[in-house]
Every structure is written in structure tokens, then in C-alpha cells.
Amino acid sequence: MKRISLLFVIFCLLISCNSEEKNTVNFTFLQLNDVYEIAPLEGGKVGGMSRVEKLHQDLLKENPNTFMMLAGDFLYPSLLGTLKYKGERIKGKQMVEVMNAMNFDLVAIGNHEFDLKEDEFQKRLNESNFQWIATNTNHQLKDSVARFAIEKNGVKTVLPKTVTFNVKNEYGKEINIGFFSACLPSNPKEYVQYEDFYESAKFAYNTLEPKTDVIFGLTHLSIEQDKLVSKMLPNVPLIMGGHEHVNMSVPVGNAKITKADANAKTVYVHRISFNTKTNETVINSELAPITKETGIDKNVDRIVQQWNVLLDSKIKEILPNPDAVIFKAVEPLDGRDTPIRSTQTNLGVLIAEAMSHSFDTEIDCALVNGGSIRIDDQLQGDITGVDFFRVLPYGGEVLKVDLKGSLLKKVLNYGRLKAGKGAYLQRYNASYNKEKKIWLVQNKEIEDAKIYTVAFSDYLLKGFDIPFLKPENKEVIKVYKNKKTDKAFDIRKAIIIYLQNL
């Protein structure tokens, strides 16, 4: 009798387990964010889109219900993007080609997408074969507002505010999963209209809720903004975000927000189970490093190498051995947009100091506009010459300028008041005393009538960021000319030589 009872219990458990399995739909998200470079970084140690695609293929073998997603920022900035190809600057064309080959399932808009001009952004849209989502960003026309759209063969396909995927398990049980996006309005452009990301996300959720089983966010917001959205929508179990560039997994109630490291140094793998009987969602998230050990996808690697041939040829015009390690950064060098345009960072100060050394320090101070530093990332570990081409993709000269102290004070004050903008100045040997409200050069107060010798990035002398700083200004006494063989002839070369001699 006991034997029969035991068999009955085992039989019931097997039926229960089988029923549980049939009612569970498993799927996987592969999350990337803030990817500007298609090739590996740090001397080939981390990142690389061909490696990401190898992981993608491995995950598809594990579970065919695998979806690869990018949470904004990929068209710009990049070193390749600044180069010209067939008469036009590349501006993200290389990234779209690689992402098409990788078969991305869903891509959100990030603020850096709008670094491109209107026609450039439209070209990248038209070249793409992957699904975009744009919940709160619209196309601002002269007299009206429209949806951004992909245009191919005379047919327009608008970027949707919401996206829904249908997912089935091996027993035919199916669910609908919904997505909304959100982009922070930190890059205002005349051709872009930003709706309130908070209200747009709520509206998108309410639109999706009646026709989906579970809803996820794919956002490009600051972490504090993501937290607001998550608290407003507590039934969204996972928001996959970007913008910060450093990996994090932040719990908010029963949900969480995840962000991977920029440039695919890491990616998030989310293995998700949804129970169709209980409507319970279980998420197991893994932060996966992308390294040599990940392996490569040969097809994507072939495309990456084709673009790298163009890049290498351009760099080698200035630097014979661009992949040689020139510096080891124990502490990350901060070139992220927000800090570099609002406070003194170790990378900004290093660049300014190198500018000084390009004239054998025979100057009083050095100034570079934060907006010329385009990497929007942190450099760490082994740093190569290529990395500093990424930092300053437009290059340009370092100019030695004699000017009056009265003008130097105006320049420094202008930069200080432009905190948060590209005209903010990274400095070497120039400091501001907040208590006395005076500027110091080499720890001495600037004298109006004294002539100072300053190293400037040549962009600053064109008057674009600081309108009154031009060679024709009467308080500019002399602008020295560089020879092509001088260290100062290319700011990137000047930095590399400085670091090599440390």
C-alpha cells in the first residue's frame, strides 16, 4: 500500500512539473548600450562587435527566443565617424552596416543620435534594417511635427512609439511582450521635438497593457530619471537603460534597472521566464564581459576589418604605430560629456598639460575647450595612440599665443560661465579663486596689462566657442606658426609624445 502511495505521489509530481513546463515561456534579452566603436578597445582586450555577435549566436543556440537590443547612443561620436568616405563623413554609417549584419531586434534612440545633422540622421535611418523604437522623440518640421520614418523605395515606415513581440514555447504556448522607450532631452536640435519622457512612457505603458502579457523598458535616461519611470510603472519588471556608460543593476521595488559598460566592454544577458498561469516573471541577469575569450563571428569581423583598413590608413598618416600601448591608466581617464564640459577632469588636465609640453613648457598656461573632447567615455587600462585619436577625432594644431592679461581673464570667465557647454575650458596652470573671485596663472593673479603666452587648441582661435577670441582681436599680440614637423602641429601627436616621455 505504501509503495502504491509513493508511486502516486511521484506520478502527480511529474504531471505537475510537465504542466509547469508547458505553461512557462522562456526568452532571453541581450542588452547593449552606448556603443560607438565597432572594434575591440584597450589594445584589443575588451569590446568588439564581432565578439558580441558570437555571444548572440551562442545565446540563439541556447534559446531561439533570444532578442538583441541596444538602449541608445551608437551613431556618434566615434573616430571612424569623423572620417570621409566617398566624399561624405561616415557619421555612423559603419555602425549601421555592422548592426544590420548582427540582426538587432530592437534599437532605441539616444541623445547622441542627434549629434548628426538632419539629413545625416535620415540617411542612417534609411540604411538600417533593424527595428527602431521612439516613444518620446519626434521629427520637428518647419510648420508641423511628424514621426521619424525610414524611407525606402518611396515607402515611409514610421518609428513606432511601442513595439510588441510574440514569443512561443516548444509546446505552442505564446505570449506578447511589449516595449516602450524614452530619451532624455539633453541634445536639443531644431529638427527634433522631445515629448515629456515621463508622460510618454506612462502613455505607452497604458497602450501596451491591454494587449501584452509583460512590458519592458528600453530607455536612454539618467539613472535618476529611470528610477522615476520605474516607480511610476511598478509592474514593469526590467528597464534596460543606457547613458551612464558604467555597468549597474539598480533595484526599484520588485523591479530593476540595468546598464552595461559603454562600447560593449560588457553586455547584460537577461534569461527570463514567464508563467502564463500565474503571470509571474522571473529574471536572471548576468553581466557578461566581452573579451578575447568570447570568440568572434567571422562575418561581422570581416565587415569590421574592412572599415578598420580605412581607419588605419588615415591614422598612419600621422602616427606610424597607432596600436602600440603608450600609457597605462590605473585610474580611469574621464572624458564623458557631462564632466568634461562642466568640471576639471583628469583627462582634460592631461590634455592641457601635454599642450604645454608641446612647447617645452615655455608658456604660462594651456586651455582646451571641453567640446573638442569627443570620446564620451572613460579610458582605462592599456591606452594606445588610437585611443587619443578617439578622444580628439578632429585633431588640429596647438597654437602658442601672446595676449594681454585683460583678454585672458575674459576668456577664462567666459569658459567658467559656460559650464555644461562645449566652451567650458579644461586648463593647465590656470585656476579660479572662488572666495576672491580672481583668476590665477601659475598661482599669481592675472595682471591686465601683462602679456601672457598661452597654448590654445586651434579651434578656440576661430571664435566658434568664444566669439571674441580671434587673431584679429587687438588684445591678441601674436599667434606663432607651427611647422609640419613640430609636436604642436597635431594635438594628438603632442599628447602621445608627452605620454611616451613620462
387 with 477, same domain: the answer is: yes
Weakest-pLDDT range from 110-114, 318-322, 364-368, 412-416: 318-322
336 with 281, same domain: the answer is: no
Distance of alpha carbon 233 from alpha carbon 255, whole angstroms: 9
Q: What is the rounded average pLDDT of the residues 42-64?
A: 96
Q: What is the rounded average pLDDT of the residues 422-427?
A: 97
* Within-domain flag for 60: yes
Distance of alpha carbon 7 from alpha carbon 70, whole angstroms: 50
Q: What is the rounded average pLDDT of the residues 133-143?
A: 97
Distance of alpha carbon 61 from alpha carbon 475, whole angstroms: 68
Q: What is the rounded average pLDDT of the residues 39-52?
A: 93
Instruction: Indicate if the pLDDT at residue 18 is higher than 70.
Output: no
Distance of alpha carbon 226 from alpha carbon 217, whole angstroms: 9
Could you report the per-residue pLDDT of 203-256, keeping only the tens digit for each?
Answer: 999 999 999 999 999 999 999 999 999 999 999 999 999 999 899 999 999 999
Are 462 and 453 in contact, with CB atoms under 8 Å apart? no
Distance of alpha carbon 461 from alpha carbon 471, whole angstroms: 7
Distance of alpha carbon 41 from alpha carbon 321, whole angstroms: 16
Among 317, 316, 375, residue whose Cα is nearest residue 350 = 375
Q: What is the rounded average pLDDT of the residues 342-357?
A: 97
Are 212 and 178 in contact, with CB atoms under 8 Å apart? yes
217 with 262, same domain: the answer is: yes
Sign of CA dihedral 223, 224, 230, 233: negative
Q: What is the rounded average pLDDT of the residues 414-436?
A: 96
Are 196 and 167 in contact, with CB atoms under 8 Å apart? no
104 with 251, same domain: the answer is: yes
* Within-domain flag for 284: yes
User: With bands split at pLDDT 50, 70 and 90, how would you rate the model's confidence at 6?
Assistant: low
* Within-domain flag for 137: yes
Instruction: Indicate if the pLDDT at residue 12 is higher than 50.
Output: no
User: With bands split at pLDDT 50, 70 and 90, how would you rate the model's confidence at 19?
Assistant: low
Strands, DSSP E only, in 208-338? 214-220, 238-240, 248-252, 255-259, 266-275, 281-289, 325-334
CATH number of domain containing 352: 3.90.780.10
243 with 328, same domain: the answer is: no
Distance of alpha carbon 118 from alpha carbon 149, whole angstroms: 12
DSSP code of residue 128: -
Could you report the per-residue pLDDT of 86-102, keeping only the tens digit for each?
Answer: 888 999 999 999 999 99
Among 448, 472, 372, 449, residue whose Cα is nearest residue 415 = 372
Residue 255 CB contacts under 8 Å (≥ 6 apart), including other chains: 230, 234, 236, 237, 238, 239
* Within-domain flag for 19: no
Question: Which pLDDT score is estimated for 14?
Answer: 44
The H-assigned helical ranges of 316-403 are: 337-340, 346-357, 385-391
The H-assigned helical ranges of 187-243 are: 197-208, 223-232
Distance of alpha carbon 184 from alpha carbon 498, whole angstroms: 38
Among 481, 478, 458, residue whose Cα is nearest residue 403 = 478
Compute CA 256 distance to the chain's CA centroid, rounded to the nearest angstrom. 21
* Within-domain flag for 495: yes
Residue 115 CB contacts under 8 Å (≥ 6 apart), including other chains: 75, 76, 77, 187
Distance of alpha carbon 255 from alpha carbon 271, whole angstroms: 15
* Within-domain flag for 294: yes
Bridge-based pairing state of the strands 174-183 and 214-220: parallel
Could you report the per-residue pLDDT of 271-304, keeping only the tens digit for each?
Answer: 999 999 999 999 999 999 999 999 999 999 999 9
231 with 360, same domain: the answer is: no
Number of structural domains the chain divides into: 2
* Within-domain flag for 51: yes
User: With bands split at pLDDT 50, 70 and 90, how would you rate the model's confidence at 15?
Assistant: very low
487 with 377, same domain: the answer is: yes
168 with 282, same domain: the answer is: yes
Distance of alpha carbon 456 from alpha carbon 78, whole angstroms: 23
Distance of alpha carbon 412 from alpha carbon 466, whole angstroms: 10
User: With bands split at pLDDT 50, 70 and 90, how would you rate the model's confidence at 85?
Assistant: confident
Are 242 and 110 in contact, with CB atoms under 8 Å apart? yes
245 with 169, same domain: the answer is: yes
Which H or E run includes 192? strand 192-194
Question: Which pLDDT score is estimated for 316?
Answer: 87
Are 76 and 112 in contact, with CB atoms under 8 Å apart? yes
258 with 166, same domain: the answer is: yes
User: With bands split at pLDDT 50, 70 and 90, how would you rate the model's confidence at 129?
Assistant: very high
Compute CA 88 distance to the chain's CA centroid, rounded to the nearest angstrom. 22
Per cent of the chain over pLDDT 70 is: 96
Are 27 and 166 in contact, with CB atoms under 8 Å apart? no
CA distances from 287 to 43, 261, 266, 267, 318 (A): 22, 9, 7, 6, 38
Distance of alpha carbon 53 from alpha carbon 169, whole angstroms: 24
Q: What is the mean pLDDT of the chain?
A: 94
363 with 455, same domain: the answer is: yes
Cβ neighbour number for residue 158 with a 10 Å cutoff: 13
Distance of alpha carbon 90 from alpha carbon 38, whole angstroms: 13
CA distances from 254 to 226, 238, 258, 284, 346 (A): 15, 9, 13, 13, 38
Q: For residue 120, what are the domain limits? A: 24-298
Q: What is the rounded average pLDDT of the residues 164-181?
A: 97
287 with 375, same domain: the answer is: no
Among 254, 241, 149, 160, residue whose Cα is nearest residue 208 = 160
Weakest-pLDDT range from 40-49, 242-251, 412-421: 40-49
Instruction: Indicate if the pLDDT at residue 9 is higher than 50.
Output: no
Question: Which pLDDT score is estimated for 394?
Answer: 86
CATH number of domain containing 139: 3.60.21.10
Beta bridge partners of 384: 325
